[in-house]
């Protein structure tokens, strides 16, 4: 499939994603049932995953959204700024951070540090995808959907210059 100037091919099917999301949802249910966890979806890429994951959770829960922007231009600082904040009290809450993909780990490293300062009861990190070969920041992901090679992917919420978020499968950049 072509998106803008690039060609992509299927990597993970909608069925495989569905199975994995159900399994993670079941594990989270075991861990957090009766604890009213707060799912925190990182916008924009994680909104599709978060929507499926919280419906795979069998128990009461809440959801919040946060939009982060990372300034990758300034390599040394690697600062991350919260653009759209959480309008929720985090003190004493069980937080389940839902991310689409962990690449260098910069985004989640800084965001979890920020969250820790709000004194939550616990923090669990869930990422649909991770690229272990690209990781540069120390973060521990509690649940990973799929580990993938260090290649650019789109679909299931992830975009290439705005397009591709609505694709049900995950596609990877094709070597042409």
Instruction: Report the catalytic residues.
Output: 103
Distance CA 160, CA 75 (A): 22
**Among candidate residues 148, 29, 173, 175, the one with its CA nearest the CA of residue 96:** 29
Q: Smallest distance from the beta carbon of 94 to ligand 5GP, in angstroms?
A: 22
Distance CA 27, CA 9 (A): 31
- Say whether residue 11 binds ligand 5GP (CB under 6 A): no
Place of tokens 């049900």: 168
**Among candidate residues 34, 68, 52, 42, the one with its CA nearest the CA of residue 145:** 52
* Residue whose CB is less far from ligand 5GP, 100 or 169: 100
- Say whether residue 90 binds ligand 5GP (CB under 6 A): no
Rounded to a whole number of angstroms, the CA Rg of the chain reads: 16
- Say whether residue 10 binds ligand 5GP (CB under 6 A): no
Q: Smallest distance from the beta carbon of 163 to ligand 5GP, in angstroms?
A: 10
- Say whether residue 158 binds ligand 5GP (CB under 6 A): yes
* Token reading at 154: 């789109």
How many residues touch ligand 5GP under the rule CB under 6 A: the total is 16
Distance CA 48, CA 45 (A): 7
- Say whether residue 48 binds ligand 5GP (CB under 6 A): no
Question: Which listed residue (12, 38, 53, 154) binds ligand 5GP by CB under 6 A?
Answer: 154
Q: Smallest distance from the beta carbon of 27 to ligand 5GP, in angstroms?
A: 22
- Say whether residue 52 binds ligand 5GP (CB under 6 A): no
Output the CA torsion sign for 124, 159, 20, 62.
positive
Query: Which parts of 99-128 interact with ligand 5GP (CB under 6 A)?
Result: 99-107
Distance CA 172, CA 154 (A): 6
- Site residues (CB under 6 A) for ligand 5GP? 45, 70, 99-107, 152-154, 158-159
């Amino acid at each position: 499939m072509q998106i803008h100037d690039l060609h992509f091919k299927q990597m993970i099917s909608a069925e495989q994603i569905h199975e994995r999301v159900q399994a993670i949802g079941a594990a989270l249910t075991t861990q957090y049932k009766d604890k009213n966890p707060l799912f925190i979806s990182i916008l924009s890429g994680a909104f599709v995953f978060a929507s499926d994951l919280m419906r795979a959770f069998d128990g009461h829960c809440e959801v919040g959204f946060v939009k982060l922007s990372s300034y990758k231009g300034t390599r040394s600082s690697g600062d991350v700024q919260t653009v759209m904040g959480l309008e929720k009290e985090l003190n004493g809450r069980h937080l389940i951070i839902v991310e689409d993909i962990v690449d260098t780990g910069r985004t989640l490293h800084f965001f979890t540090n920020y969250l820790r300062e709000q004194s939550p009861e616990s923090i669990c990190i869930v990422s649909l995808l991770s690229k272990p070969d690209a990781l540069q920041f120390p973060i521990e992901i509690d649940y990973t959907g799929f580990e993938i090679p260090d290649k650019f992917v789109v679909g299931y919420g992830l975009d290439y210059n705005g397009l591709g978020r609505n694709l049900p499968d995950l596609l990877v950049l094709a070597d042409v």
